[in-house]
Structure 1
Amino acid sequence: MVHAMLMESDEYKDTKDFKDTDLYKQCVAAGIVPDTTKETSESWEARLEPPAPELSGTDSEVPMDAGNFLTLNLQIQNMWCPACAWLIETTLTRSKGVVNASCNFSSDRGSVVYDPVKTSPDKIYAAIEKLGYPAADINQKASKSRAEFIRICVTLFLTMNVMMLSWSIYSGFFIELSPHAVQLLAWPVFLMATVVVFYGGYPIHKRALAGITSGFPGMETLVSTGSFSTYTYSLFHFYRGSIHLYFDAASMLILLILTGKMLEQTAKNKISEGLWKFFSLVPQKVRICADQFPRGRYVSIKQLSQGDAFLAEEGEILAADGIVTRGSAVIDESSITGEAKPANVRPQDTVKSGTRIISGKIQITAVKVGEDSILGRMLAIMENSLSEKTAQTQRFEDILKFFVPSVIGFSIVTYFFWMLYGLTSYEAFNRGISVMVISCPCALGIAIPLALVAGVSAAGKKGILVRDFEAFEKVNGLDTIVFDKTGTLTTGKLKVLGMDTANNFPAQKAWQIVHAMEQESDHYIAHTISAFAMAMNLPPLDLEDLTYHSNGISCQYQDKIYCFGSRDFVNKSNPADPSFISFARQGAQVISTVFLAQDDTIVAAVHLGDAMKTGVKTLVADLYKRGLTCYLISGDAERPTLAAGAFVQIPAENAHGGLLPHEKAEFIKTLKQSGKKVAMVGDGVNDAPAMGQSDIAMAVHSGLNPGEGVAAITLMQETPVQIIDFIGLATRVNRKVKQNLIFALVYNIISIPVAAGGFLNPIIAATAMLFSSLSVTCNTLLLVKQESKNKPVS
């Protein structure tokens, strides 16, 4: 409890010294918590119930009693390949106090669940940085390391000089050089190459050593082994006075890796740029209004609570979901919905967190804050999706765990094979090193996850929230889409669709009478009709003898009796509907009709129903053009379901009404058993069983939790027309994944035998390796640029 209180305060940012705080000491003095200063750490840990489990893998689950654990989200820099992420995960999971850890190479993000009594964020950061990877808080802007920039500059300068002097030494193969001349040239080369290998290559060697000791060797292991082998080979010949010195190869290998990875990280940052912009939507300060500060005072966002009033003005981003209480403004919700359409807000309007104020100034009462807000839940979902791996990615990563040891083994075999074949030790060594440095586990490792991260980023810009990475892959082979009706194709809200009146009865008079009869009623249909009349600025008439019945209302006006209600209530003598009444409504379905009668004669009929959402008819037509079959299922009656299906041109045999939630799920199951690959589109509430039964579930955001139910994606514009955007995006993402995999596989299949055959030297081999991983990154970057030009369906 003391720890929780300290964490709620902005005064204490870390947990490691919470026992030194005044609050903790006062609690000890008062006997609220026990004094543990005289106890050993072992006895203290033995009294913790239950103890934190010792975990040895990233697949471990957080214990059920996880209320005392905290989660730390962080950004990790300078990861060069997926093996870096495996190394960090393994090291953290084996650390004391860490319950679970996950690290994503493509997004440079990590998440750690830890016990604050046993460890702290500072210790977690230190453990990561000890491996050679700078780590920082997720909200902290990544800084470029000056030391790394100096390292690259020094390496570049010295390597260029090593190369220049090496050419002079190589002239000894064509002209005779005296031993003294060789020594004069070799000593500067040796000294400069030593600085390059040990200083310039320090980050590489450090990660290689950490990878070997943890059992997860990566690209750094190959580069480090290759550079040290070449350096040691050259050192041996240097002491013998030989001109077979290849310090230039060791130096150039280090320079190429540092430079290539810097360029690759730049391209990778552009791919993830959309994600970082999305995560940066959370403001760090909010202007809270209180009695002592009626004009507001800026405080930390952590101090904002439900029910607080806060101000927001032009250029600011709303910190919480809430209700406008004062002022007016023009807002932009494109960061949440992907729809760049400004909207006006006034008192009593609801606003979402993450919304930007274009102009104006408003005061809002916070309804949902922090992780409970729309933006908070969206960020949590994206964090979870970025930390997960698809089955395809996991399969390739499992293969890559054996890739590096296999390459090293094949490199050694290559060396001994050519030695036995009769080549000189230099030529055999050259071919063995070339095999080692030309193989590229990075290209294979980043082929899938990098394209998926680009897809999540592009989807977010379109207002599509991806909860499951596998949603992209599952679009392949999709042939059937099943729509829920209410809330998905229709608005799901009862509204007045219109009024039909007799030729000799003015529509304005009918609305004024109806408004006057319904304005005092507490029935939800009465509220809907009154609101519609008020919106037309029609004042109610003064009625007499207003009487409420079980199925309608009656009154007297200008010596005539008026009745408003059901068909039987207003006119029992004539069951036929008047000819002026039309039940057909374009783009909507009539759910109920309320009649107005004058002296037992029907003079008007008000139609209420559920309007179809804009663009759904075009959506279904586009889906049919793509070769997909559409179905419509609903819990509503058969008649309105068929009417909605007819409007969007779904055949009557594909429209089914009167289905309960479990019957919807059974319908999906039947389609799948017939060999169809099915997507279910619903509002994510009562459609959850059917969505769970489908191959891919798509939720149309209904104003509730955007990640509710089992949806793989959520359409934040609250309209299913975004399905076309997602299917098109998924197709392009899958195409990039396929291209990346084919290139990476073909590269390694061809390059390793070529290097083993002696057609390349180590420098060319290292250059080819860098271009392979860089080409996969740049190919994915093309997807990002393409998506930035594609406008979402509106």
Structure 2
Amino acid sequence: MTTRATTSISDPNARRDLSERSARDRSGEPVNDTISDDVLDLDISGMTCAACARRVERALGQLDGVSATVNYATERARVYGAGTDAAAAISRVEKAGYGAHIHDDADDTWSKRATENRITSLRRRLVVSALLTVPLMDITIVLALVPGWRFPGWEAVCVIAALPIVTWAAWPFHRATLRNLRHGSVSMDTLVSLGITASFGWAVLSLIFGFGDSGDPGFWLGFGMTPAGASSIYLDVAAGMTTFQLAGRYFETRSRRKAGDVLGALGELAATHVRIRRDDADSVEPIAALTSGDEVVVLPGETIPCDGEVIEGIAAVDTSMMTGEPVPVDVSPGSTVTGGTVSTNGRMLLRATSVGAHSQLAQMAALAEQAQARKAGVQTLVDRITGYVVPGVIVLAILVTAVWTFTGTPFTRAFGIGISVLIIACPCALGLATPTALMVGVGRGARLGILIKGHDALEASGMISTVVLDKTGTLTTGRMTVHAVTAVAEVPEHEVLRVAASVELGSEHAVAAAVLSEAKRRIVDLPKARDFAAHPGQGAEARVDGAVVLVGSPALMREHGVALDAAATQIRDAIDSARTIVVVSIDGRAVGVIEVGDTIKPDAVMAIRALRAQGIRTVLLTGDSEQAGRRIGTEAGVDDVYAGVLPAQKADVIRQLQHDGTKVAMVGDGINDSVALAAADLGLAVATGTDIAMKSADIIVVRDDLLAVPEAIALARRTRRTIRWNLGWAFGYNAAALPIAAIGLLNPLIAAAAMSLSSVLVVSNSLRLQKMRLRGR
């Protein structure tokens, strides 16, 4: 371990203003950590692909002074602009062919109903389509392959069976296509609708005009050619394509809803009613009636409705739904509790301290939601690509069909190859790759007390090589604790502590609080002190049991003529350990030394080990002396210590480490570390209560557990890997499938199934994050 005493950093850029940096995220988009009048959230219905989301963005962007981001996975739009007119924004979305509704965090009924209606409609159409497609495929393929089994009018029977599939069942694709064409645009639905219409239309035309009676071989199935006169096999393609696409859309919609539920589950923890005590009478009222300062009664098994302080009662509170900790926390009068947690036993009376949007639960839910609105740079690129892919695929399908025809291939086969290209190239998986993984990752983190603010945090987490930890309140408890009590005369140790605590009863100093806490732990009763007198910055004195007791620093003792020879060894050892020295004297004679100091958190050592296991170097920042920093650093097991660092110099240390070529994550207590958090490549704020709204941090940890830091980095890295896997699969799938389809090795039925399954696979892979286990949970 290396220890460095730091007074200043000679970095020419060390004093640059970070206010603009902290007001923006690292992707350059405005950070809106609170909803203001300039931000409008809309629920959007009717979107079927990423191209739809981009179209809604463009429609909203046509409003004066307005910009918007639309998330296809969450089906939500965030509209930025001074004085955004909600009616005008909704009208603009509706003119683009979609539905819109003002998002209400407290009531998501509209969005849920729209999703449920869509799922119900898709399920109904899928069932009908499948029931008709299975026998149609059997009959069509058998009769097409075995001419001797054909009967008069068999083609007409197949057409009648296929008609409801390609019209009513496939209507969602046709409706979206017509809507897009009215607005001069195309989408993934256009490709599906064209494929279905072209396949069905060609089969009908073949039957009417006898295209299939030319004597040419029929449709290529991937293992051979159908006999002449089997053009009606395209009915099978149209029906099968519709069924596969409906199945893919149905399971995709369900999976996206499930992913959305992971994100929204945090908000659903909030209680809807509260038992308020007024004039010694309890009444159950809607949660909206609760105000800060009200007294609230919580019965066993009930959800705590607000952040508050326990006034009466003892209970075990289950916090697992917010922190992931499986063991209930015991609370008693004076303890603080968080809304959304559950009292497992015991009756409590609370005083509400934060309610509604100011509660920790509400802020966690809001930050998790806002993480979805901050579109990743890679997602913006993907959205642009999908905007060009659809028209490009249509042109490519026409060209492929033309090339195969001109090279002498029978048109029936060339047409089938063109249909395969049309279907296989739908980039649905690309549009879902990033937002679904981000949605599930953010939701999972929120349930574990880890708030990931956006994709920039995920990107930064993968490059971090050094974690810098603030000392007080982050690595240590921030509370003074008695480490040793040593008697230097005939007076026993417990008597030294007893008389010192009696004097400190009249003091409010942090050292006094530590002495009192230790005395209460060891001693039942304390004698009453008289004639108390404080010596600011040095100690205090009083009369205890008739004797004059002086408690304070060695300098105070020397001022009062107290000899310290007997305590010299203890004082020197305490100085070497960088602890605060409290000398106790009775009637002018030193009788003992009490060593007081800050202590590292119980889980700090395990957290440092976990960071090392991830290949990360750890650095401690402290304003203490070099000796104190070295002691804390040794106990925690960090790799490096910067001592003597003033709060204003923390950002300078961060920039110096960055200048040395390392990617730095800063872990602070979320109160006085905002500049350092903003300067770091990744800022992690260990915060509680209202500190959760820190704007400078990329990741916020809202539980009192330092192990959450390596867990947050692990979750962010896992989410980042999932996004990359999704994108790799989506790009790789299209890159490999298009050439296979273009050279005629992919049957349209297989293409339709593969395209649908690719989207379901991407969403399912993202949902695996929901089951991610951290620290053996």
TM-score, length of structure 2 as denominator length: 0.84
For the residues of structure 2 that align with 1:277 and 1:686, how far apart are their CA atoms? Answer: 31
Give the Cα separation in 2 of the matches to 1:316 and 1:93.
46
Q: What is the DSSP-based 3-state SS (H/G/I as helix, E as strand, rest coil) of the residue aligned with 1:744? A: helix
**Alignment pair present for 1:150 and 2:124:** yes
* 1-structure distance, mates of 2:31, 2:657: 37
Look up the equivalent residue of 2:404 and give its one-letter code.
W
- SS at 1:578's partner residue? helix
Give yes or no for contact 1:281–1:354 (8 Å, CA) kept in 2. Answer: yes
Q: 2:123 is matched by which residue type in structure 1?
A: F
Partner of 1:296: 283
**Equivalent residue, structure 2, for 1:280:** 268
Name the counterpart of 1:578.
Answer: 567
Among candidates 91, 98, 116, match of residue 131 of structure 1? 98
**Match in the other structure for 2:353:** 367
Instruction: Find the counterpart in structure 2 of residue 758 from structure 1.
Output: 744
Quick check: 736-745 or 265-274, which moved more? 265-274
Give the one of 715, 728, 749 matched to 2:714. Answer: 728
Kindly indicate whether the alpha-carbon contact (under 8 Å) linking 1:697 and 1:712 is maintained by their aligned counterparts in 2.
yes
Alignment of 1:603 with 2:603, yes or no, is no
Deviation of 1:579 (Å): 5.4
Q: 1:124 to 1:386 in 2, by over 3 A?
A: farther
Cα distance in 2 for residues equivalent to 1:390 and 1:677: 20
Task: Determine which of 180, 191, 200 is the counterpart of 1:222.
Answer: 191
CA–CA separation in structure 1 for the residues paired with 2:492 and 2:293: 48
For residue 417 of structure 1, report the CA deviation from its aligned partner: 0.9
Give the residue type in structure 1 aligned to 2:297: L
Residue number in structure 2 paired with 1:332: 318
AA aligned opposite 1:333? T
Pairing partner for 2:136 from 145, 159, 162: 162
Q: How far apart are the structure 2 equivalents of 1:357 and 1:494?
A: 31
**Conservation of the 8 A alpha-carbon contact between 1:129 and 1:135:** no
Which structure 2 segments of 5+ residues have no match? 1-27, 213-228
State the aligned residue count: 720
How far did residue 678 of structure 1 move?
A: 1.2
Q: What is the distance in 1 between the residues matched to 2:430 and 2:465?
A: 30
Q: Specify the SS of the correspondent of 1:217.
A: coil
**Superposition pairs for residues 359-508 of structure 1, below 5 Å?**
359-502=345-488, 504-508=490-494
* One of 551, 559, 568 as aligned partner of 1:564: 551
Q: Identify the range of structure 1 (613-622 vs 350-359) with the bigger mean alpha-carbon deviation.
A: 613-622
Task: Give the superposition deviation at 1:561.
Answer: 3.3
1:83 aligned partner, one-letter code: A
SS of the equivalent of 2:720 reads helix
Q: Which residue is equivalent to 1:15?
A: none
**Take 2:255 and 2:574, find their aligned partners in 1: how far apart are those partners?**
53
Q: Which residue of 2 aligns with 1:687?
A: 673
Tell me by how many angstroms 1:644 deviates: 1.5
The whole-number CA distance in structure 1 between the counterparts of 2:574 and 2:562 is 28
Aligned residue for 1:35? none
Query: For the residues of structure 2 that align with 1:522 and 1:729, how far apart are their CA atoms?
Result: 42
In the other structure, the counterpart of 2:53 is 85
CA, structure 1 residues 425+375, in 2 after alignment: closer, same or farther (shift >3 Å)? same
Indicate yes or no: 2:191 matched with 1:191.
Answer: no
Which moved further from structure 2: 549-558 or 754-763? 549-558
- TM-aligned CA distance change 1:577 to 1:354, over 3 Å: farther
Q: Within the alignment, does 1:234 sit opposite 2:234 as a pair?
A: no
1:526 corresponds to: 512
> 1:331·1:345 contact (CA, 8 Å) conserved in 2?
yes
CA distance in 2, matches of 1:134, 1:167: 47
State the 1:455 CA deviation: 2.2
1:332 shift after superposition: 1.4
Distance 1:541 1:236, change over 3 A: same
Deviations 1:280-312 (A, max 9, x none): 112222233334x8112222x223222223322
3-state SS of paired residue (1:280):
helix
Shift of 1:67: 6.3
Structure 2 equivalent of residue 43 of structure 1: none
Q: Distance in 2 between matches of 1:424 and 1:611?
A: 83
Report if the CA contact (8 A) 1:664-1:690 is conserved.
yes
* Cα deviation 1:679-733 (Å, max 9, x = unaligned): 1111122222122111111111244421314111112223332222233333333
Q: Deviations over 1:305-332 (max 9, x none)?
A: 2222332223322222112233332211
Distance 1:90 1:270 in 2: 28
8 Å CA contact retained: 2:665, 2:681: yes
1:118/1:380 Cα in 2 relative to 1: closer, same or farther (>3 Å)?
closer
Name the counterpart of 1:630.
618
| Aligned residue in 2 for 1:358 | 344
Contact 1:62 1:100 (8 Å CA) reproduced: no
**CA deviation map 1:341-400 (0-9, x unaligned):** 212222332211222121222232221111111111111111110121222222222222
Trace 1:7-86 onto structure 2 (pairs within 5 A): 71-72=40-41, 74=43, 80-86=48-54
SS in 1 for 2:590: strand
In the alignment, the residues of structure 1 paired with residue 159 and residue 740 of structure 2 have an alpha-carbon distance, to the nearest angstrom, of 30
2:548–2:586 Cα contact (<8 Å) kept = yes
CA distance in 2, matches of 1:663, 1:492: 20
Letter in 2 for 1:186: E
Change in CA separation of 1:114 and 1:678 when aligned onto 2, cut-off 3 Å: closer
- Give how far 1:591 is off: 4.6
* 2: CA distance, partners of 1:543 / 1:91: 76
**Post-superposition shift, 1:406?**
1.4
Which of 174, 177, 197 is residue 205 of structure 1 equivalent to? 174
Q: Distance in 1 between matches of 2:191 and 2:345?
A: 56
* Residue segments in structure 1 that go unaligned for 5+ positions in a row: 1-58
CA RMSD of aligned residues (A): 3.5
Tell me what 1:106 maps to.
73
Contact conserved, 1:508 with 1:538, CA < 8 A, in 2? no
What whole-Å deviation, never above 9, does each CA across 1:24-52 have from its counterpart, x for those lacking one? xxxxxxxxxxxxxxxxxxxxxxxxxxxxx
Preserved CA contact (<8 Å) 1:218 1:441:
no
Query: 2:295 matched to 1:306?
Result: no
Taking every aligned residue pair, what percent have the same amino acid on both sides? Answer: 28
Q: Determine if contact 1:564/1:597 at 8 Å carries over to the other structure.
A: yes
Change (3 A) 1:519 1:165: same
- Compare 529-538 and 463-472 and name the one that shifted more: 529-538
Q: Show the counterpart of 1:45.
A: none
TM-superposed CA distance for 1:412, in Å, is 0.9
1:504 alignment partner AA: E
Whether the 8 Å CA contact 1:467–1:707 is kept in 2: the answer is: no
| 2:737 is the counterpart of 1:769 | no
Corresponding residue to 1:696 among 664, 682, 690 = 682
- The normalised TM-score by structure 1 is 0.82
Structure 1 pair 694–503 and aligned structure 2 pair: CA distance change class (3 A): same
In structure 1, what is the equivalent of residue 218 of structure 2?
A: none
Please state how far the C-alpha of 1:99 moved relative to its aligned partner.
Answer: 5.4
Shift of residue 72 of structure 1? 4.2
Say if 2:304 is the partner of 1:318.
yes
- How far off its partner does 1:589 sit? 7.0
Q: Aligned equivalents of 1:128 and 1:355: distance in 2?
A: 44
